[in-house]
Structure 1
Amino acid sequence: MHAPRLFARLNRRVTNPAVRRWAGRLRSHAIIEHTGRRSGRVHRTPARVFPTAHGFAFLIGYGLESDWVRNLVAANGGAVVHRGRRYEVDDVRVHRAPEGRQFLPPGLRRFATLAGEGHVLTVRRVPGGEPGEG
């Protein structure tokens, strides 16, 4: 069961603006840069991040209808700012629960199972070139 959409709206307007100030610098958080499907505007959404061998994984906590998920999927890419570095990403994939849980750390995997969560979005770092400053 994902978190209610009411919390998503609250996060977008209240929490996210504050969290964006530091999320791209921490090991456990990142900023997902994605372009709006209709507006064409670039959005910056803070999120928990789980680095993978070739990119990043994100637990989809507010459901598959979340704008950042839909925008990344529609564009098949965007950017991720993690630990002060900006990475172009592509190969966007949504892995539904329970398959998606394999991309999560063991402790979070157990929690996601108990909570009925586990949809995960993965992206691949675009090969070539050094990451830019975020």
Structure 2
Amino acid sequence: MRRKWLWLLKNTLNRVTIRAARSGHGPFSLVRHVGRKSGKTYETPIMVARVPEGFIAELTYGEDVNWYRNIVAAGRCELLVDGQWHQVSAIEPYPSAAGRDAFGYPAKLVLQVLQRHEFRLLRTG
């Protein structure tokens, strides 16, 4: 069931959110990553929050999604935020409370109500 849900997102909603991320408007950013098996370049829309060390991503679907597994394997990726590309040099676990706080209100409240607790720091610079 989960695989079908992810396929549906990839082939419908992701197409719209990729366009939104490219435009630099709205809440979406774009992570560009290289497939760990295929070597092919992919772009996946995600939502991030800016912090001094880089950006915080919430792992809505957990660690078993391809974009996350690909950047962990590569140790890097590129991130398009507000129309500007950033080089991500590392990905690290991030404390749950600090991760929710990084998103500010009302997103912080939504993340708390949904009991989201898997956050990652996408370190830049």
Scaled by the length of structure 1, the TM-score of the pair is: 0.78
Q: Secondary structure at the match of 1:20?
A: helix
Separation in 2, partners of 1:27, 1:93: 25
The one-letter amino acid of 1:9's match is W
Q: How many residues align?
A: 123
Unaligned runs of 5+ in 2: none
Equivalent residue for 2:120? Answer: 121
- Give the structure with the larger helix fraction: 2
In the alignment, the residues of structure 1 paired with residue 55 and residue 62 of structure 2 have an alpha-carbon distance, to the nearest angstrom, of: 18
Identity %: 23
- Which residue is 1:81 aligned to? 80
For each residue in 1:58-90, what CA deviation from the matched residue of structure 2 results, as whole angstroms up to 9, or x when unmatched?
A: 111111101111111111110001111111111
Q: TM-score, normalised by structure 2?
A: 0.83
Please state if 1:23 is matched with 2:21. Answer: yes
Q: Check conservation: 2:94, 2:119, Cα contact below 8 A.
A: yes
- 1:98 Cα shift? 5.5
Q: CA RMSD in A?
A: 2.1
User: Which stretch has the larger CA shift, 104-113 or 77-86?
Assistant: 104-113
Uncovered stretches (5+) of structure 1, i.e. residues with no partner: 127-134
Which 10-residue stretch deviates more, 115-124 or 44-53?
A: 115-124
Q: Contact 2:48–2:57 at 8 Å: present in 1 too? A: yes
Shift of 1:101: 3.2
